[in-house]
Amino acid sequence: MATTVDKQRLFISVPSPQALLARRPVSYIAGQLKAKLAKLKRELLTPSSGSGGGAGVGFDVARTGVASVGFIGFPSVGKSTLMSRLTGQHSEAAAYEFTTLTTVPGQVVYNGAKIQILDLPGIIQGAKDGKGRGRQVIAVAKTCHLIFIVLDVNKPLTDKRVIENELEGFGIRINKSPPNIVLKKKDKGGINITATVPLTHIDHDEIKAVLAEYRMANADVAIRCDATVDDLIDVIEAKSRSYIPVIYALNKIDAISIEELDLLYRIPNACPISSEHGWNVDELLEQMWEKLNLVRVYTKPKGKMPDYTAPVVLRSTACTVEDFCNSIHKTIVEQFKLAIVYGKSVKHQPQRVGLSHELADEDISAVLKASYGIHKGAISVKAAYTANEDDHSLGDWEVHNDPVLVDTSNAVDAAEARSLGLETNSTMAPLPLLQPAAARSARTRALTTDQTSLKYALQAAA
Ligand SMILES: Nc1nc2c(ncn2[C@@H]2O[C@H](COP(=O)(O)OP(=O)(O)OP(=O)(O)O)[C@@H](O)[C@H]2O)c(=O)[nH]1
Ligand SMILES: [Mg+2]
């Protein structure tokens, strides 16, 4: 009898093989729970057929300029006052909360770049969970290239953390770059984890738990940073994450002492300002420029100094010669021959480069198109254009930046050519901007910048 009881006790105290298998290390369970939570959060924030987290009516606005900057902050911290100060665009500002109810767009031109500024309604704690119109507001901020978190220096600094949490909870990663983790799904072979640095925040069980939660049974995971579970989840959830730089605009410094101001300067990525008085707004713009990381490319007409007044501004993520050409006119790439570049992006000054070359800030670039050679007949046109005469901006650009080269020495009467503003020597001098009337003249039809005339010139020369 006693033996039976003992057997029963033994049976109860020893778990079954299935239970043993099911038992997982604590880190596995922690990873599983974090992954489950991240999935649920994403489902909550993903708009389901027209409702939910997307930007609603009056919130999303047409994007203009090369980059956009959104203002996020509690109500009445001075966002609209700052907007009016930076752009000259009036945005209603008042001493009561929730003065701004929709997105108010404006524009600032800085270093030749047109930057869109979006004044947004104030948000409150719980915004990401749908309080107020918080989700719509943060959804607009999530599509911006830079966010100004505007804080009132008279309010507790804990407000900064609250706003950061709201943005983080919405998938915005502040002043961070994507974690250096490469995840490759496979068809078979199980999970293969390699790490090039010691992992102090995560172990293999946790990684496997997260991958299992996302139904990844076969994958290569290459970790090249001391990653956390959240980093791994961010890589898996990459589609719903936005890595956006942030500047903390610490507003209303007119109401604090110099000693307090000194303390504010210690906060990283912060800029103390007074939008009402316009104090230190210049520094804010400088910081904005640095964070936006834009690339200015100056165009250079042949035989002339580069045009420093109107750079072509590109984003650093799309700054190849092809992007440069496309930002001027999409037809340029079709006729592209080579670009001559001076500046930081090239080893030799100047250097001939192709479409895939990446340009650097303050580079100087001249684009050459495929040449048309007409050696018979009256006029020799070495380079020609297909610009539409009606498209004035393109015509201007082309003539100023890649001028038609004309050898008029052997055919066109020197005096007549001079009266048309053409060079008459044989050195293939750049052709100045042609007047439409002159362009229509029969004698000079071949010299116009439109395609019809070019065809005529080719026929006449044949
Ligand atoms: N002392 C001081 N007051 C300021 C400053 N900037 C704004 N204010 C005042 O703060 C109040 C709120 O300004 P708004 O610009 O309307 O604030 P907001 O953040 O746009 O507010 P909501 O649209 O409600 O979210 C107004 O009474 C402004 O005059 C500043 O630099 N110093
Ligand atoms: Mg406002």
Instruction: Give per-residue pLDDT as tens, 443-455.
Output: 333 333 333 333 4
**Ligand 1 nearest-atom number relative to CA 275:** 31
How many angstroms separate the alpha carbon of residue 132 from the centre of ligand 2?
15
In this prediction, residue 443 carries a pLDDT of: 33
Q: Which ligand is nearest to the CA of 256?
A: 1
Instruction: Give residue-wise pLDDT tens across range 165-205.
Output: 999 999 999 999 999 999 999 998 899 999 999 999 998 99
User: Mean pLDDT over residues 42-51, rounded?
Assistant: 61
**Ligand 1 nearest-atom number relative to CA 75:** 25
How many angstroms separate the alpha carbon of residue 261 from the centre of ligand 1?
19
In this prediction, residue 367 carries a pLDDT of: 82
In this prediction, residue 146 carries a pLDDT of: 97
Residue 142 token pair: 């999530």
Q: Of the spans 319-328, 402-411, 417-426, which averages the highest pLDDT?
A: 319-328
Give CA separation, 392 vs 95, 222, 387, 434, in Å: 47, 52, 9, 12
Phi/psi for 66 (5° steps) reads: -85, -20
**455 in helix, strand or coil?**
helix
Neighbours of 96 (CB within 10 A): 7
Report DSSP state, residue 444: G
How many whole angstroms separate alpha carbon 215 and alpha carbon 157? 41
Cis preceding linkage at 350, omega within 30: yes
Instruction: Give residue-wise pLDDT tens across range 210-255.
Output: 999 999 999 999 999 999 999 999 999 999 999 999 999 999 999 9
Q: Which ligand is nearest to the CA of 148?
A: 1
In this prediction, residue 334 carries a pLDDT of: 87
> Which residues contact residue 309 at a Cβ distance below 8 angstroms, ignoring those fewer than 6 apart?
112
Residues with CB under 5 A from ligand 2 (ion): 79-80, 99-100
Question: Which listed CATH number (3.10.20.30, 3.40.630.10, 3.40.630.30, 3.30.1360.120) goes with 294-369?
Answer: 3.10.20.30
Question: Which listed CATH number (3.30.300.20, 3.40.50.11310, 3.90.1150.10, 3.40.50.300) goes with 67-176+243-290?
Answer: 3.40.50.300
In this prediction, residue 47 carries a pLDDT of: 60
Asked if residue 53 has pLDDT above 80, the reply is no
Q: Identify the H or E element spanning 249.
A: strand 246-251
How many angstroms separate the alpha carbon of residue 117 from the centre of ligand 2?
13
Pocket of ligand 1 (CB under 6 A): 73, 75-81, 93-95, 97-100, 121-122, 251-252, 254-255, 274-276
Query: How would residue 9 be classed by pLDDT, with cut points 50, 70 and 90?
Result: very low
Asked if residue 56 has pLDDT above 80, the reply is no
Residue 167 token pair: 């943005």
Q: β-strands 67-72, 104-110: how paired?
A: unpaired
* 107 HSE (CA, 13 A, CB side): 12
Query: Which of these ranges, 82-86, 347-351, 426-430, has the smallest mean pLDDT?
Result: 426-430
Give CA separation, 342 vs 60, 298, 327, 339, 447, in Å: 39, 10, 19, 10, 29
In this prediction, residue 216 carries a pLDDT of: 92
In this prediction, residue 381 carries a pLDDT of: 28
Instruction: Give residue-wise pLDDT tens across range 133-151.
Output: 888 899 999 999 999 999 9
- Greater model confidence, 264 or 303: 264
How many whole angstroms separate alpha carbon 345 and alpha carbon 295? 11
Q: Which long-range contacts (CB under 8 A, 24 or more apart) does 307-315 make?
A: 307/400, 307/401, 309/112, 310/112, 311/111, 311/112, 311/113, 313/66, 313/111, 313/112, 313/113, 313/114, 314/66, 314/359, 315/66, 315/67, 315/145
Query: How would residue 282 be classed by pLDDT, with cut points 50, 70 and 90?
Result: very high
Handedness of CA 46, 51, 52, 53 (dihedral sign): positive
**459 in helix, strand or coil?**
helix
Tell me which residue has its CA closest to atom 9 in ligand 1: 78
Asked if residue 409 has pLDDT above 50, the reply is no
Helix intervals (H) in 2-73: 2-13, 17-22, 26-45
In this prediction, residue 16 carries a pLDDT of: 56
Q: Report the greatest alpha carbon distance in the chain.
A: 129
User: Mean pLDDT over residues 148-173, rounded?
Assistant: 94
How many whole angstroms separate alpha carbon 444 and alpha carbon 416? 10
Instruction: Give residue-wise pLDDT tens across range 12-25.
Output: 444 455 554 566 77
User: Mean pLDDT over residues 336-350, rounded?
Assistant: 89
Inter-residue contact 151 to 73 (CB < 8 Å): yes
Q: Which ligand is nearest to the CA of 122?
A: 1
Q: What percent of the chain has pLDDT over 90?
A: 48
Query: How would residue 31 be classed by pLDDT, with cut points 50, 70 and 90?
Result: confident
Which of 74, 81, 101 gets mutated to test ligand 1 (max ligand atoms within 8 A of its CB)?
81
How many whole angstroms separate alpha carbon 292 and alpha carbon 110? 11
**ipTM of this predicted complex?**
0.98
How many whole angstroms separate alpha carbon 320 and alpha carbon 204? 40
How many whole angstroms separate alpha carbon 196 and alpha carbon 383? 54
In this prediction, residue 438 carries a pLDDT of: 36
pLDDT, averaged across the chain: 77
User: Mean pLDDT over residues 286-309, rounded?
Assistant: 88
